[in-house]
Structure 1
Amino acid sequence: MKRVLRQTAEGISFLELLLDETICEGDILIPKELILLAGGRNDRLPAKKKYELLLRIAQRTSFDLTEEPSGDMGMELLTNDTAEETADGWKTDCYIIGKYSQILQENQVFEMAVASVLEEAQSHGHYEQAVSFLEAMIGHAELFYELDAPTEPVLIYKGDDVCHNVLTVFAEQFGAALGRAGAQIIWYDMANQPLEELLQYRNRHFKAVIGVQSYLFSVKMKDEIHYLHETIYGPKFNFIFDHPVWMKKHLEHQYPDFYVLTHDADYVAFVQNYFRKNAVLFPPAGIEPTCKNEVTRKYDLTFVGTYGNYWNEILLIHQMERKERFLANRFLLVMRKNPDLSSEEALKRALIFYGRSVDKKEFVEILYGLRRVIYCVMHYYRDRVLRVLLDSGLTVNVFGDSWRNSPLAAYENLICHPDVTVEESLLIWQQSKLSLNIMSWHKAGFTERMANIMLAGAVLVTDDTRYLEGRYENGKDLVSFGLAERETLPERIKRLLSDEAERVRIAESGREKTKQFHTWDVRAKEFLELLETLNKNGR
């Protein structure tokens, strides 16, 4: 009969288990919530994974192992090692001695534990190897931290209130999903904790350190030479959801273990090429509605986004110096005429037009100086797409004060609603038959708005992005359109609104595909797999 691990007020103590691993011999059913509480299994260990996990559980709660019958629901079965694993058991013994050396010394059993491991190594003919390995574990050499990393917590930075708190929502959703996947999470809240509190993490090791468009990786020590994160150990990841050039000042540091996570394949290439940084295509995910009951879809067509005035951006361009102004105008013109081009490709064409040859560093400086031109063309096409829809007689429901003061407010069929939070926008999409997305010039990207719309059961109507190729099918999972072909969009939308069965079919297909590939739980699994890949490749 399998033994079952049960939490008890008094039971097997941590020290008792540490000194006698035979206590956990045999097959043991362990509640999954306790495995998560302990930080999950450590699959980097060569052997004795069950024993090592039980030690971490015993540190957090007392338990007994009973031989009572139990269903397997909510349980995970851990078995004894295979013969091959047993041969490497001494390595895990060395690791455990290194991890808990202070406790062993406090209880005056450290020397006994060391002698026991070395005696076994002597009998199996690998004494010298064991001595070297044990020294690395006790001295907490790099090899120790490689083995220990899966048991370390993940440090996540949150608290940025940009864009209706959306970055904090990203951090919280991702952190919660990582927690469900077995990671322990430590939060640093920028909004409520002073910067000095980051110092408590110096000289600590983490499974990962994660920021969401965060400036914290650029924080320097008082000497203005060294960065704080030089002494916060573990791979560091910064989600970036704008064009990377906007984060230029925060991508100039040099950490060998720093990675940019971005939602656009073009941005991956840009970061690698111009900033010489590691970059991974890792788009944000969507949030599944908490209300599972069917909500009345009272809106035919919605757009949850802000209105930006194109002409205000034009005025800023006209205030530039003559040489910059000419280049900015050409840059804008190239993007307007070629709406499928990425901003960096458009700038290259503008520079060629003026016969200018620049190196990579100068190119980044120029793009950074002209970065608002990207917003300008985005505002231009957002306005043009909405005008086409409104001119066709379609009613468009928009949200936020920016629309009430926009030129489009003159249209009677533009229905302006109050601003909404991230959470409220999820309900809006549940109440929508179709919802519009217009990219912020992410030509190979995927955004949380796209995922949220589809998870809410609305049909996503979006301008083209190369990310969709091979992942979603136009007309089957969503409706996509080229910005240059926007005149065809009203008829496609009207046709769907008049064919409820087809609309529902597309919405359901999009929802199912997004549930499969674009939830935060999926992202958490992919991230943990990424950590393992980086470890195997030596980061």
Structure 2
Amino acid sequence: MKIERIILFTKGIETLSFFSEQLGKTFSKLGYEVFYFDQCKSYDSLAELLLFAKPEATAAVTFNFDGCCGEEYFIDCKGIHLFDDRKIPVINIVVDHPFYYHKFLPFLPKDYCQISIDREHEAYLQYYFPEIKRGLFLPLAGTSLWEEDTLPKWEERPYDVVFTGNYTPLSKFEPTIERHGKEYADFYYGIIEDFKKHPHQGMDIGIREHLLSEVEDITEDGVKEMMPNMIMIDLYVRNYFRGKVVQTLVDAGVSVHCFGAGWEFLPCEHPENLIKEGGVDSLACLQALSKAKVSLNVMPWFKDGAHDRVFNSMLNGAVCFTDWSRYLTENLRDGEDIFFYELDALECLPDMVQGILENRKKWEHMQKAAYETAEKSHTWEHRAGAVHKEILSKIR
């Protein structure tokens, strides 16, 4: 077996479709034939896929279980998955915490490899699902619209601060958290308060500690079984801090342009400083970053990984201002190609942002350093190359 053809999935979740397209460009340069499965036209696309998928010469590279989450159009009348029938290895890059996807594990093809974008996610998978084949650790990456010498300069950037991402009001999560009554709700809210007070702890690590200490006679298997029920805690905490960071800045007089849905629901004392630009796609986010001096980021609880917002910011000339992760501190330089803040010291954020905006010379130095760092190591071309080198080229 030698892999010559690659299947990628598009037209599902917009962001993941964009990632797939970026990977596909490099796979094509590396000599692979690439087929993009259109999830909006699944049966039409399936007919084309059947002609493309050469047995023992084709692999599927997917995100978040697309193509292997039980889709009926991939299963024949005997219950055999197309990828098993054609001997197609599947490489699944999971961009959320694995506890979101326990329910899909029964549908996995036989030749399956899972890639994590955070080393804590990798440790979780190894601990609770050692039977699943794991690939390389692969952080998310960025996409540039510019060559370094064409990056928009300071005076060409009308936005001081931009945030690209959606916001969900906390009230949306409360019915789910409270659905089993006060005792369960108090337990869940207790975990949430712990994360608010100790925002550096990993999500599954913190939840596990609460389960083991507060649920009588629970076993590790019980913890594993309970983890998918904790998804609302993850979503609540992530949106709490996302909202809190933006709220802290706008209420201190900093104008923040938010490109994403839901920001009209953020309570703040000075809504005039919260400029709601509405929901946009991945390309529009890159264009917004290209007009920003500072790109605000709040990590989606990736404590040992990266988010594409970080590298997108660096590659499009906006200085990235973000909370840190272990991976980011190992690979980036605070005050040189990125600025880190602390989630447990949000009161410092306004002065830190003003400090960036008041020092154009420093900003210009950081813009150049950040672009060079990300362009050298953190594009989707690099990630596709790693998948080729470490997995695809070794399949025999």
* TM-score using structure 2 length: 0.89
Q: Partner of 1:174 in structure 2?
A: 23
In the alignment, does 2:144 pair up with 1:284?
A: no
Equivalent residue in structure 1 for 2:282, among 407, 422, 431: 422
Task: Give 1:422's aligned amino acid.
Answer: S
Question: Cα distance, 1:476 vs. partner?
Answer: 1.2
Pick the aligned partner of 1:211 from 62, 83, 89.
Answer: 62
One-letter amino acid matched to 2:231? R
After TM superposition, the structure 1 stretch with the greater mean CA deviation from structure 2, 397-406 or 450-459, is 397-406
Structure 1 segment 89-108 matched on structure 2, within 5 A: none
Question: 1:252 touches 1:275 (CA, 8 Å); kept in 2?
Answer: no
Report if the CA contact (8 A) 2:64-2:95 is conserved.
yes
> Which of 351, 366, 369 is residue 491 of structure 1 equivalent to?
351
Equivalent residue number for residue 306 of structure 2: 446
Q: Is the 8 A contact 1:403 1:409 kept in 2?
A: no
Greater C-alpha Rg: 1
> Structure 1 residues 179 and 533, CA, compared in 2 at 3 Å: closer, same or farther?
closer
- SS of 2:9 mapped into structure 1: strand
Per the TM alignment, residue 454 of structure 1 is displaced from its structure 2 partner at its CA by: 0.5
1:159 partnered with 2:14: no
CA deviations over 1:405-461 (Å, ceiling 9, x no partner): 432385221122233221111111111100111111111121211111110011001
Between the aligned residues of both structures, percent identity stands at 23
What's the offset of the Cα at 1:533?
7.0
From the superposition, tell whether residues 153 and 202 of structure 1 become closer, same or farther in structure 2 (CA, over 3 Å): closer
Give the C-alpha shift of residue 256 in structure 1.
Answer: 5.0
Query: In 2, Cα distance between the equivalents of 1:206 and 1:362?
Result: 41
Structure 1 spans left out of the alignment, 5+ residues: 1-144
Q: CA deviation at 1:368?
A: 0.5
Using the alignment, how far apart are the partners of 2:379 and 2:385 within structure 1?
A: 10
Q: Indicate conservation of the 8 Å contact 1:454/1:510, yes or no.
A: yes
Question: Residue 245 of structure 1 corresponds to which residue in structure 2?
Answer: 99
The Cα of 1:238 is off from its aligned counterpart by 1.1
Contact map agreement 1:432 1:458 (CA 8 A) in 2:
yes
Q: Deviations over 1:65-99 (max 9, x none)?
A: xxxxxxxxxxxxxxxxxxxxxxxxxxxxxxxxxxx
Q: Among 206, 219, 223, which residue is 1:363 paired with?
A: 223
Structure 2 CA distance, aligned partners of 1:477 and 1:310?
Answer: 33
Q: Partners in 1 of 2:383 and 2:102 — Cα distance?
A: 26
Higher RCO (CA 8 Å, separation ≥ 6 residues):
2
User: Using the alignment, how far apart are the partners of 2:205 and 2:146 within structure 1?
Assistant: 41
Asked if structure 2 preserves the Cα contact closer than 8 Å seen for 1:203 and 1:231, the reply is no
Counterpart check, 1:328 vs 2:188: yes
Aligned to 1:370, what secondary structure does the other structure show? Answer: helix
Structure 1: 4+ residue segments shifted above 6 A: none
- Post-superposition shift, 1:179? 0.8
Instruction: Tell me the matched-pair count.
Output: 385
Counterpart amino acid of 1:486? L
Aligned to 1:236: 90
Q: Is the 8 A contact 1:218 1:227 kept in 2?
A: no
| Structural RMSD (CA) | 2.3
Other-structure match for 1:142: none
Q: Partner amino acid for 1:155? A: I
Question: TM-score, normalized by length of structure 1?
Answer: 0.67
Following TM superposition, by how much is the alpha carbon of 1:290 offset from its aligned partner in structure 2, in angstroms? 4.5
Deviations 1:118-170 (A, max 9, x none): xxxxxxxxxxxxxxxxxxxxxxxxxxx2xxx15x211222221x2xx111111
- When residues 407 and 520 of structure 1 are mapped into structure 2, their CA distance, relative to the original with a 3 A threshold, is same
Alignment equivalent of 2:272, drawn from 391, 412, 415: 412
> 2:394 & 2:180 partners in 1: Cα distance?
45
